[in-house]
Structure 1
Amino acid sequence: MEETPKTALAHFLLFTFLLSPIAANASDITQQLHRPLSSANWQQSRDDADSLLRIGEQQYRSGNANKTINSCLQALEIYHSIGDFRAKGLTYELLAKAYIQQEKFKEGEDALRRRLAIARDTKDFQAQIFALNNIAAILLQQGETVAAGRTVQEALTIAQGVKNIEGQGLSLSNLGLVTARLGDYNKAIKLYETALTYRRQKGDATGEANTLNNLGEAYLAAGNYQDTIGTYGAAMRMAKMNSDRTNQLRAIDGLVKAHSSVGRTERAFELLQQRLIIAQELQNLPEQLKSFESYAQLYEQLGNYTTARNFYERAIAIANTLEYTKQELVLKDRLTKLQNKRN
């Protein structure tokens, strides 16, 4: 949803903060949940819960948050009954991401704090680092910038204490987000550059692309379009090479904004076409919605109201299918204003 620059930035930061650094695939989850079986009944219950969690991950990747939540809640019930705290922690992590996708931030924060509590009980320092970073994302989205900064700093302190390179890179990158929100873009840029050294040291291609996207956002906010385009371009190429669709789409979004800002609309449309193709290949309706909305906004800026209307209508149809009520209302309001421009 991009009704105002401030709202757009909040939404943008949230998904960058929450999803990119810790996304796990189904095979990762299966490996992390493995432990010796104590009985045939325990094994069957465990298999059922693991299956629900794998399905939930697939549902989340397809943009179906409602089904993800249902799968996670069923899995949690089973993991609780067999006393598997580690698996519960991983399930709360996925549940939080699904709630955030639905903009249910209170529920998302609750799931993340439960994840953090389990990580502390099990002395899982890496999980603590990730959970704290994600909680900070919620705080930042809610405008609690100072509290978000404290939370990220706690994560960074833990990461430094246990010499966790990945955690240091993630926390420094997110500390840059907090600093950028406070308007100190030069300091944010320095934090991102430091974060990049850790992410490259770790060989974390996804993390590096994420931080490059953060850096591109800072350059864009500072009005440095040349470095904005170069940095987002590097992020897009790295993400594409590693099949990292999340960061690839985000880099495209940044490039569209940058090129549009300097009147390079032809390049912006080329990038939007790439974006829509990726979203359709993924069969990800939320990303298709974003693509149609971006098309509509760009055509509206150019004064091509007929084509803009067509794309707004397509975006509204998807928002209705996804039951994104708030976004559907915003899009309908924009369409009404657009029709008034034509009259």
Structure 2
Amino acid sequence: MQHIPSPEVERLLLEETLVASHEELAQQALTPEQRTCLAAEAKQSLKQGAAHQRQGNTVAALGDFQKALQVFQTLAQPRSAARVVLVMAHLCYTLADYLWAADYARQGLALAQQLADQTLQHQALSCLGNSYRHLGEMENAETCMAQSLRLAQVVCDREAEMRALGNLALIYRVQGKSDQAVDLYEQSLEIAEAHQDLVALEQILRNLGNAYHALGNSQKTIEYYDRLLRLSRDRMELTVVNKILRNLHSACYAIGDYTRAVVYLQERLQLVRQLQDDRGEVQTLENLSINYDILGDTAKALQAREERLKAAIRLQDLSLQRQALSSLKMACIAQGDFERVKRYINYLTESV
């Protein structure tokens, strides 16, 4: 399968890396011919590395970029070296090799600081902060990502600012600082909306829904999850939609909006049946019966309990069958449907 480099990595690769200043050339004792040969070698290594990366051969790509890095160090081209070492940091990050990613990011940061290049500093700090987060070094992660955010704002790179806001928000969430996280997500949402970045919008809306759900803010949970579903439900994985619908029901139930809760439950019921998720169907039908009871729709509540029992039978789970049958029996008695009660009592005697 062809591997497509991330936009940040591609941007680094496409930037000019072979032109040295007269000052850099003067610092070397190399002949012009030697410098030309080395430059050609670096260019070839970069091309091979990019090709290996597109093919998904990240280890080979790292070897090629390492060769190019050594050439740029020999030629005393710190800007080119910084760009290549940051590509290597991002590649290690994609391999989940966070120790090496952090090491390369630190090298890139040092070079970027020497060059006083705020854009490269931002990129290095972003990779370093994310690597620290995976390594569990949360204080270092927060410090690096906050600095990355500040630099993105300084250089007026709104897309980089949006990413930094999201990354810092994730660090806050891991630390249990959900209130601070949602504030940053809200800021990043404004940028995504301004740029009409659909992919970013989807991720941020999902992050906001998750964060507000964790905070127990049901109104905001409903607002952002519902907006996410309307925006991109057809493009989302069904398992993700299933979780969102489950959380939407919980949020509606929490604020007493049982009519809306039923709407989300009915959507979820269709979905779990499509997924052939019998346990999810049992759970959804149980919740439907509870909400129908509250709304006074006893006929639909009874129907939901019957369907729940059938799903429990398909699962061949005796415990669930007993629970479902007991709930259905009580509902039938409450409705005075004694014939129906007898039928289910016979089933219990014969099968359970």
Whether TM-score is above 0.5 comes out as yes
1:65-144 equivalence runs, <5 A: 65-144=58-137
Counterpart pick for 2:42 among 39, 43, 49: 49
Range 163-172 or range 89-98, more displaced: 163-172
Is the 2:89–2:101 contact (alpha carbons within 8 Å) kept by the matching residues of 1?
yes
Is the 2:169–2:181 contact (alpha carbons within 8 Å) kept by the matching residues of 1?
yes
1:231 aligns with 2:228: yes
Q: Report the Cα distance in structure 2 between the residues aligned to 1:150 and 1:44, rounded to whole angstroms.
A: 42
Range 63-72 or range 226-235, more displaced: 226-235
Counterpart pick for 1:213 among 180, 194, 203: 203
SS at match of 2:8: coil
What is the aligned-residue RMSD (CA, Å)? 3.5
TM-score normalised according to structure 1 size? 0.57
CA separation of 1:197 and 1:260: change in aligned 2, threshold 3 A: closer
* Alpha-carbon displacement from aligned partner over 1:224-257 (angstroms, at most 9, x marks no partner): 47734743775799xxxxxxxxxxxxx846x633
Q: Report the Cα distance in structure 2 between the residues aligned to 1:93 and 1:153, rounded to whole angstroms.
A: 19
- The one-letter code of the counterpart of 2:9 is A
- The one-letter code of the counterpart of 2:239 is V
Structure 1 stretches lacking a partner, 5+ long: 1-18, 238-250, 270-301, 304-343
Seq. identity, %: 18
Instruction: Kindly state the Cα deviation for residue 140 of structure 1 after the two structures are TM-superposed.
Output: 0.8
Is the 2:49–2:64 contact (alpha carbons within 8 Å) kept by the matching residues of 1?
yes
Q: Report the Cα distance in structure 2 between the residues aligned to 1:52 and 1:229, rounded to whole angstroms.
A: 48
Instruction: Kindly state the Cα deviation for residue 135 of structure 1 after the two structures are TM-superposed.
Output: 0.6
- The one-letter code of the counterpart of 1:256 is T
Q: Report the Cα distance in structure 2 between the residues aligned to 1:53 and 1:168, rounded to whole angstroms.
A: 28
- Matched residue, 1:319: none
Counterpart pick for 1:29 among 13, 28, 31: 13
CA separation of 1:20 and 1:265: change in aligned 2, threshold 3 A: farther
Q: Report the Cα distance in structure 2 between the residues aligned to 1:156 and 1:193, rounded to whole angstroms.
A: 15
CA separation of 1:96 and 1:200: change in aligned 2, threshold 3 A: same
1:60 aligns with 2:50: no
1:182-261 equivalence runs, <5 A: 182-199=175-192, 203=195, 205=197, 209-210=199-200, 212-220=202-210, 222=213, 224=221, 227-228=224-225, 230-231=227-228, 234=231, 252=236, 256-259=239-242
- The one-letter code of the counterpart of 1:53 is L
- Matched residue, 1:330: none
- The one-letter code of the counterpart of 2:16 is Q
CA separation of 1:36 and 1:87: change in aligned 2, threshold 3 A: closer
- The one-letter code of the counterpart of 1:72 is F
Is the 2:192–2:200 contact (alpha carbons within 8 Å) kept by the matching residues of 1?
no
Q: Report the Cα distance in structure 1 between the residues aligned to 2:167 and 2:105, rounded to whole angstroms.
A: 17
Q: Report the Cα distance in structure 1 between the residues aligned to 2:229 and 2:46, rounded to whole angstroms.
A: 33
Is the 1:57–1:94 contact (alpha carbons within 8 Å) kept by the matching residues of 2?
no
CA separation of 1:110 and 1:169: change in aligned 2, threshold 3 A: same
Q: Which has the higher contact order (CA 8 A, sep 6+)?
A: 1
* Alpha-carbon displacement from aligned partner over 1:185-239 (angstroms, at most 9, x marks no partner): 45423312212334555x484xx634641441342352747734743775799xx
CA separation of 1:268 and 1:101: change in aligned 2, threshold 3 A: farther
- Matched residue, 1:165: 158
CA separation of 1:31 and 1:93: change in aligned 2, threshold 3 A: closer
The number of aligned residues is 234
Q: Report the Cα distance in structure 2 between the residues aligned to 1:168 and 1:142, rounded to whole angstroms.
A: 23
Q: Report the Cα distance in structure 1 between the residues aligned to 2:232 and 2:81, rounded to whole angstroms.
A: 33
Q: Report the Cα distance in structure 2 between the residues aligned to 1:120 and 1:89, rounded to whole angstroms.
A: 10
Q: Report the Cα distance in structure 1 between the residues aligned to 2:134 and 2:231, rounded to whole angstroms.
A: 27
Range 118-127 or range 152-161, more displaced: 152-161
* Alpha-carbon displacement from aligned partner over 1:79-125 (angstroms, at most 9, x marks no partner): 11212211111111121122223332211111000011111111110
Is the 2:42–2:71 contact (alpha carbons within 8 Å) kept by the matching residues of 1?
yes
- The one-letter code of the counterpart of 2:138 is T
SS at match of 1:120: helix
Q: Report the Cα distance in structure 2 between the residues aligned to 1:143 and 1:112, rounded to whole angstroms.
A: 17
Range 133-142 or range 173-182, more displaced: 173-182
CA separation of 1:127 and 1:212: change in aligned 2, threshold 3 A: farther
Q: Report the Cα distance in structure 2 between the residues aligned to 1:197 and 1:102, rounded to whole angstroms.
A: 31
Q: Report the Cα distance in structure 2 between the residues aligned to 1:267 and 1:136, rounded to whole angstroms.
A: 41
Q: Report the Cα distance in structure 1 between the residues aligned to 2:88 and 2:229, rounded to whole angstroms.
A: 30
Is the 1:176–1:189 contact (alpha carbons within 8 Å) kept by the matching residues of 2?
yes
Instruction: Kindly state the Cα deviation for residue 47 of structure 1 after the two structures are TM-superposed.
Output: 2.8
Give 1 or 2 for the bigger CA radius of gyration: 2
* Alpha-carbon displacement from aligned partner over 1:1-32 (angstroms, at most 9, x marks no partner): xxxxxxxxxxxxxxxxxx8572325xx62443
SS at match of 1:83: coil
Structure 2 stretches lacking a partner, 5+ long: 26-31, 215-220, 247-267, 277-313, 316-352
